[in-house]
Amino acid sequence: MKKPLIVILIPIALYLFLIQTNFLSDIFFNIGYESYQKAKVYMGGIPQNIHIKTADKYLSWSVRLDPRNFKKAYCYADNLNIIYSDLDPHKLKARELFKNAFKLNPNSDTVAYNIGHLYIVGTIEEYQNIDSALKYFNFAISLNENYYAALESRDWIYQFRLHDYPKAITELKYLISNYENITDSNQRWQPSWAKKSPKQELLDKLNWCYDDLRQINKKKYELTNDYISECSDMDSYNLGYAYATDQLGGGLLADCDYLYRIAVTQKENIDHYCFCMGVSKWLNDNNR
Q: How many CB atoms are located within 10 Å of the residue 185 CB?
A: 6
pTM: 0.67
What CATH number does the domain located at 1-143 have?
A: 1.25.40.10
Helix (H, G, I), strand (E, B) or coil at 162: coil
Taking alpha carbons only, the member of 281, 231, 284, 236 closest to residue 260 is 236
Helices marked H in the chain — which ranges?
Answer: 2-20, 23-39, 49-65, 70-83, 88-104, 109-118, 130-143, 148-156, 165-177, 179-182, 185-188, 198-224, 234-243, 256-263, 272-285
pLDDT in 10s for each residue of the chain, 288 residues: 445 655 555 565 555 554 555 677 888 888 888 888 777 665 444 555 677 778 888 888 888 888 888 888 888 888 887 766 666 677 788 888 899 999 999 999 999 999 999 888 765 666 678 999 999 999 999 999 999 999 999 999 999 888 888 889 889 989 988 888 888 887 888 777 777 788 888 888 888 888 787 777 666 655 555 444 456 677 888 898 999 998 888 887 777 888 888 898 888 888 887 888 888 888 878 876
Domains in the chain: boundaries: 1-143
- How far apart are alpha carbons 199 and 143 in whole angstroms? 24
As a whole number of Å, the CA-based R_g of the chain is 28
- How far apart are alpha carbons 60 and 31 in whole angstroms? 11
